[in-house]
Structure 1
Amino acid sequence: MSRLRVYTHPACIAHDPGEGHPERPERLGAVIQALRDGMPDVDWHEAPAAGRGELLRVHSEALLRTVLDSKITGPMRLDPDTLLSPQSPEAALRAAGSGVAAVDAVMSGDVPVAFCAVRPPGHHATGGEAMGFCLFNNVSVAAAHALDRYGLTRVAVVDFDVHHGNGTQAIFADEPRVMYLSTHQDALFPGTGTRAERGVGNLVNVPLPAGTGSAGFRDTWETRLLPELDGFAPQLLLISAGFDAHWRDPLAQFQLDGADFGWLTRELRAIAGRHASGRIVSTLEGGYDLRALQEGCLAHARALVGLPEEAGAGADR
C-alpha cells in the first residue's frame, strides 16, 4: 500500500461554464472533499501550468490561441456545450500540467501512482478542437510527455468514462506506441468508438448498450479489454477516470456503482504491477451527479493505492 499523490489547483474550481452547466465547479469541490474525508493519507500537490511546448505535442497552435489568448470578459462559447470564462485559460493549463507533473513523479520513482483532481476534463478535445466540455486533452498531453521525455515505447490509456474519448483516440490513432482502450455507452455523445475503429491495431473500443450494469461491464473488461492490455505490457498506464457510468448520473444510462470502479482499478493496478513497476497516472474526466462522483472517485482512489473496498460500497440503491 502506498500514499496517494494528488495534483489539483484552485484555478480548476474557478473555471465556470455558466449557471446550469453540468460540468460545474462543485464537481471538483466534491471530489476533493471525498478524498479528504475518505483517504487516510493524501499527498496533496499544486498542479503546475503546462508549457506551450508540452501542449503543442498534441494540439495545434490555433487551439492554443483560442483557449489561451482570447480576450474573455464573460462566457465565451466554443460550441454548444463548451464555454470559456475569464478563469478558464489558467484552469486548462493547470489541468494539462497536472498530468505532466504526475508522469514525472511516477517515472522518477518518487511515487508509484498519482491522481489528477482537475477540471475541465479532457478526453473529447482533439488536436485542433475544444469540445464536449473539454479544452485541452489532459491525458494525451501526459502520454505525449511520457513518450518524448522518457522514450517509452508502450503507453496505455484506459478510459472508463461513459462517453467515448474521441479526442484521445484521434490524437493517437496512428501512434503504435500508445494503446487506447475504452468501454462507453453505445450511440451516446460523441457517437464515435465503434468496434471497427482499430487505428493501427492500437485501439480497443467496446460500446455497450444503455442499461449495462455490473455484470456486463465486468465481463467485458475481463474477457475483452484486460487481456489486450496485459498483452500490450504497458510501461506506463494512464487512466481517463470518468464516473458518469454510475447509475445516478443524469447524462447517461449505465448502472454501475462505486464497487465497479474499484474492481476495475484493482485489475488495472495488477497489470501495472506486472509490466510498469506499478506506475499509474489517473486523471478526472466526467461524472455529473455529485454523490455518484464522490462514491466512484473514492473507490477508485482507494483501489489505486491498494486499500480494501469500503464496506457497503455501492449499496445505496
Structure 2
Amino acid sequence: MATGFFWDERCFWHAGGNYTFTMPIGGLVQPLAAGGIPENPETKRRLKNLMEVTGLIHELDLRSADLASREALLRVHPESYIDEFKRLSDAGGGELGLRTPFAKGGFEIASLSAGLAVAAVDAVATGTLDNAYALSRPPGHHCLPDYPNGFCLLANIAIAVEAAKAKGLAKRVAVLDWDVHHGNGTEAIFYDRDDVLTISLHQEGNYPLETGAVANRGKGAGEGYNINLPMHAGSGHTAYLHAMDRVVIPALEAYKPDMIIVACGFDAAIIDPLARMQATAATFGEMTQRIKETAERLCDGKLVLVHEGGYSEAYVPFCGHATIAALAGSQTEAPDPLAPAHHNRQPTPAFDAFLRQSIDAMAEQLNI
C-alpha cells in the first residue's frame, strides 16, 4: 500500500502545433514549447525532475497506464466528437474548440492523459493504492462533452469517475477543483446529477468569464450538488485555508462520498502568469493535508489528485512537491525559494479579513 504517481513521458509531448505562428516552422524559425500555448510541458516535467532530485519520487509507486478506451470516452463524450478529434489528429492536428490546439497524435496523447486518471482512480477505488496523483496532460476540467476549451481536450476526471461507476467501484463521488479557473466542464457534465458533488474554488472573473457563479447550484436531481466559490483576486494563504474549513470540508462531510477526487491546478500560486491569486507552495501542501484527513474520516482515505493547470515553470514544481509530499505523508522537503518574500506579498490584515468575510457570506448563501 502506497501513494501512486501516474505519469507518462508521452504526455509531455502534447503540443499545440503552429498555433501562434504566421509562418511555417523549420529552417531558422525555431518552434516554441508546445507550439506557443501557455500550457507547456515544462511545469510538469520540472515537477517530476524536482521529485527525483529530492528523492521524493522514490517514496512513490510509479505507474503509467493504457490509453482510455473508446468505451470509456463515450461514457462522457458523444461519438461525433471523438471521431472528429481522431480524424483531425490523424490528419496532422488542428483545433476543435476554444484555445485547444493539438498536433498530430494529439488524440492518443489526450486519451493517455485520461487513461492516467482512470488508472489512478481504479487503483485507489480497488484498494491497490492508498491514494494517488495523476500527472495528466493535457488537462481536462474545462472540457464539455462536445466542446473543448481552455487547453482541455477530454474530460479526464469525468471519464475516470464514469469508469469507476461502470465497474461498481463508487456510488457517490466528490470532485473538488482548486484550479484558479472555474471547472466549468466538470460542472456541466454532472450538473443534473446527485451522485457526484462538484465544488470549485476559483478566481472571480477569470476564465471562463460566463461561468462559476455562487447561484449556480445544479438542476433537477443535481440541485444543491454543485458548489461554486468565486474568490476575490488577491486571495492568499489564509483565505484559501478558510475556504477549505468554512465551505469545502463541511460540504464533504454532509455529502459523505465514497471517494474524493481533486482537480489539482497550481495556477492560484503567487507568481502564476494567468491569475492574480497569492497562494504559496505551503498553501497547496496544507490544503492537501486537510483533504487527506477528510478523506480518511469519510471514505477510508480514498483520494486521487489529477493535475490540471499551473503556468509558472519555476514555481509549479515546488507547489506540486509540497502537495505530493503531503499526500504521501513524506518528510522529504523542497524548500520554497520564494518563502522569504511571502510575508511581503500576502494580503494585508485588513484585506485578508475582508476576503474571509466574503467567503463567510458565500457560505451563508450556500446554506453551509
TM exceeds 0.5? yes
Distance 1:232 1:16, change over 3 A: same
Per-residue CA deviations over 1:191-230 (Å, capped at 9, x if unaligned) read 2111101112111110011111112111122111211112
* Stretch of structure 1 that moved more, 276-285 or 143-152: 143-152
What does residue 14 of structure 1 align with?
13
Q: Is the 8 A contact 2:179 2:268 kept in 1?
A: yes
**Equivalent in 110, 117, 124 of residue 135 of structure 2:** 117
RMSD across aligned C-alpha pairs, in angstroms?
Answer: 1.7
The answer on whether the counterparts of 1:17 and 1:23 sit within 8 Å (CA) in structure 2 is no
Q: Structure 2 CA distance, aligned partners of 1:72 and 1:145?
A: 26
Shift of 1:151: 5.0
| Equivalent residues of 1:73, 1:86 under 8 A apart | yes
**Paired amino acid for 1:94:** L
User: 2:120 is matched by which residue type in structure 1?
Assistant: A
Q: Does 1:103 align with 2:116?
A: no
Out of 203, 207, 222, the position equivalent to 2:230 is 207
Aligned-partner Cα distance in 2 for 1:205–1:223: 13
User: Residue 72 of structure 1 contacts residue 85 of structure 1 at CA under 8 Å; is this kept in 2?
Assistant: no
Per mean C-alpha deviation after superposition, the further-off stretch among 66-75 and 107-116 is: 66-75
Hey, what does 2:163 align to over in structure 1?
145
CA distance in 2, matches of 1:62, 1:32: 36
Give 1:80 deviation, angstroms: 4.6
CA distance in 1, matches of 2:138, 2:334: 31
Contact 2:137–2:308 under 8 Å retained in 1 = yes
Instruction: Give the drift of 1:260.
Output: 0.4
Structure with bigger gyration radius: 2
TM-score by length of 2: 0.82
Counterparts of residues 1-317 of structure 1 (less than 5 Å): 3-18=2-17, 19=32, 20-38=36-54, 39=56, 40-150=58-168, 152-191=170-209, 192-199=211-218, 200-308=223-331, 310=333, 312-313=335-336, 315-317=339-341
The 1-side partners of 2:335 and 2:51 are apart by 17
Tell whether the 8 Å contact from 1:83 to 1:133 is kept in structure 2 after alignment: yes
Cα distance in structure 2, aligned partners of 1:240 and 1:80: 20
Q: How many residues were matched structurally?
A: 316
User: Unaligned 5+ residue runs, structure 1?
Assistant: none
Unaligned segments of structure 2, at least 5 residues: 18-31, 342-368
- Once superposed, which parts of structure 1, at least 4 consecutive aligned residues long, lie more than 3 Å away? 71-75, 308-314
TM-score (norm 1): 0.95
Indicate if the aligned counterparts of 1:7 and 1:116 stay in contact, CA closer than 8 A: yes
Q: Secondary structure, in 3 states, of the residue corresponding to 2:315? A: helix
SS of equivalent to 2:61: strand
| Whole-angstrom distance in 2 between the partners of 1:64 and 1:204 | 29
What's the offset of the Cα at 1:257?
0.6
Q: Given residue 4 of structure 2, which amino acid in structure 1 is its aligned partner?
A: R
The more displaced of 125-134 and 151-160 is 151-160
Report the AA paired with residue 40 of structure 2: R
**Residue identity opposite 2:6 in structure 1:** Y
Indicate how the Cα distance of structure 1 residues 311 and 66 shifts in structure 2: closer, same or farther if over 3 A, else same.
Answer: closer
CA contact (8 A) 2:134 2:306 kept: yes
User: Aligned in 2, Cα 1:84/1:60: closer, same or farther, shift over 3 Å?
Assistant: same
User: After the TM superposition, which of the residue ranges 48-57 and 214-223 deviates more from structure 2?
Assistant: 214-223
Deviation at 1:312, TM superposition (A): 4.7
- Secondary structure at the aligned position of 1:237 is classed as strand
Q: What residue identity is the alignment partner of 1:262? A: G
% identical aligned pairs: 35
* Alpha-carbon distance, 1:25 to partner: 2.1
Q: Which has the higher helix share?
A: 2
- Give 2:197's aligned amino acid: M
Residue identity in the other structure for 1:303: A
